[in-house]
Amino acid sequence: MEEEEEEGVWVGYIAVMEDEEEIRRMGRRDVVVVWRGTQTTEEWLKEIDGSIIEPDHDKVGALVSGLHFHVTDLDGDVGIERGFWTLYASGQNSARVQVTDEIRRLVSVYGGGQQGELSITITGHSLGAALALVSAYDVASLGLNSSAPISVISFAGPRVGNAAFKRRLHDELNVHVLRVVNSRDIVPKVPGSLVSLMDDEADEPVDDPTLYNVLHTLLHAAHPAYVHVGIALHLDNTHSPFLKNSLNLADVHN
- What residues form DSSP beta bridges with 123? 34, 153
Please report, to the nearest 10 degrees, the dihedral formed by the alpha carbons of residues 90, 93, 96, 97 taken in order: 140
Largest CA distance in the chain: 59
**DSSP output for 69-128:** EEE---TTS--EEHHHHHHHH-STT-HHHHHHHHHHHHHHHHSSGGG--EEEEEEEETHH
53 near 79, Cβ under 8 Å? yes
Closest CA to 148 of 110, 120, 115: 120
83 near 108, Cβ under 8 Å? no
Active site residues: 126, 185, 253
Closest CA to 17 of 38, 2, 33: 33
